[in-house]
Amino acid sequence: MLASTMAFGLMAVAIRLASATTATTEIAFFRNFFGLLAVLPLVLRRGEPLPRTRHLKRYVVRTVIGLASMLCGFWAIGHLPISQAISLAYSTPLFVTIAAALWLGEKVRVRRWLAVLAGFVGVLVVLRPGSDFNAGMLVAVLAALLSALVAIQIKQLARLDPPDTVVYFTYLFWVPLSLVPALFQWTWPHGIEWLWLALTGLLGTAGQVLWTRALRLGEVSALQPISFMQLPLVATFGWWLFGESVDRWTVIGAGIILGANAYIAHREALLARKAASSEPTTAAKPGE
C-alpha cells in the first residue's frame, strides 16, 4: 500500500509537470495509452486467450464517467496547488459511502453518516467559501464525485468479470475515448515532455496493481491510513518544484477528511468481519 501511495503521488507530480506545456485532454490520452501498454503484459499471458466479457455496455458507461473524472482531476492537479487538489480528492470515499447506500442499497448506520458529515465539513474548510474560495476547486470536488460513481461501477463489474478483465476493457475503451477530445488541442510532445507523459501511465498502472495486491493481503482499515502519505509527498514536491506552500486551512481540512475516511474504513472492516463470522460454516444442502 505504501508503494501504491508513492506511485499515485508521483503520478500527480508528473501530471503537474506535463501540464506546464500540454493540454489536460492530451495528458489524459497519453496516461491511458501508456497505461494500456503497461497492462498488456499482465493480461496477455502466453497461451491464454484475450479477456472476454458479455457486459460491454457497462464498460462503456464506466469508461465515459471515468474519463470525465480523470479530466476533472488532472485539470485540478494542473491548475490548483497540488496539495489542495489531492486533499479534495480524498473526499471520494465520502461520496462512495453515499452512493453505496443510494445505489447498492447498502446499510449505512448513524456512526458512518456522522463520519461522512464530518468529512464534508473538512471539504468546506479546504474550499473556504466566502473568503479565499477558488471556483476551480469545485472541479476537484466534481472529480471526487465522479470517481465515487466509478468505484461503485467497478464493484459491480468485479462481481461479473475477473479483475484483469475489468482493467483490460477499461483501458481498451479509455484510449480511443480520450483521443477524441485530445485531437482538438493536439500538439506533439517534445524532449522531456515524453518522460512526464509516459510516467503518468506507468505510475498510474503500477499504483493500481499494487493497490489491488495490498487489498488482497491486508484489511482496508489497516491499509487506509497508509494511503494518506500521498499528501505530504505531493506537498513536499509542490514546495520543491513549484514553490507552493501549504496553508493551514488546507492542512486542517485535509486532517478532518482523512480522519473521517479512516473511521469509515474501520467501521466497514468491522461490519465485514461480523458478517463473515455470522455466516453458517456447515455445507449447504442441495437446493439451498
Q: Does the pLDDT of residue 285 top 80, yes or no?
A: no
3-state helix/strand/coil string of the chain: CHHHHHHHHHHHHHHHHHCCCCCHHHHHHHHHHHHHHHHHHHHCCCCCCCCCCCCHHHHHHHHHHHHHHHHHHHHHHHHCCHHHHHHHHCCHHHHHHHHHHHHCCCCCCHHHHHHHHHHHHHHHHHHCCCCCCCCCHHHHHHHHHHHHHHHHHHHHHHCCCCHHHHHHHHHHHHHHHHHHHHHCCCCCCCCCHHHHHHHHHHHHHHHHHHHHHHHHHCCHHHHHHHHCCHHHHHHHHHHHHHCCCCCHHHHHHHHHHHHHHHHHHHHHHHHHHHHHHHCCCCCCCCCC
pLDDT 10s digits, 87-143 = 999 999 999 999 989 988 888 889 999 999 999 999 999 998 666 678 889 999 999
pLDDT at 164: 79
Evaluate if residue 50 carries a pLDDT over 70.
Answer: yes
What is the structure's pLDDT at 149?
A: 93
pLDDT in tens, 255-269: 999 999 989 888 888
Angstrom distance (rounded) from CA 33 to CA 27: 10
Q: Is residue 287 predicted with pLDDT exceeding 60?
A: no
CA distance to 58, 86, 112, 124, 140, per residue, from 188 (Å): 33, 28, 48, 39, 27
Q: Give the mean pLDDT of the chain.
A: 88
Percent of the chain with pLDDT over 90: 59
* pLDDT surpasses 50 at 34: yes
What confidence tens digit (pLDDT) does each residue in 53-80 have?
899 999 999 999 999 999 999 999 999 9
Which residue did the predictor score with more confidence, 221 or 223?
A: 223
Say what the pLDDT of residue 59 is: 92
Task: Indicate if the pLDDT at residue 223 is higher than 90.
Answer: no
pLDDT (0 to 100) of residue 230: 93
pLDDT at position 271: 76
217 pLDDT more than 90: no
pLDDT tier, 275 (very low <50, low <70, confident <90, very high otherwise): confident
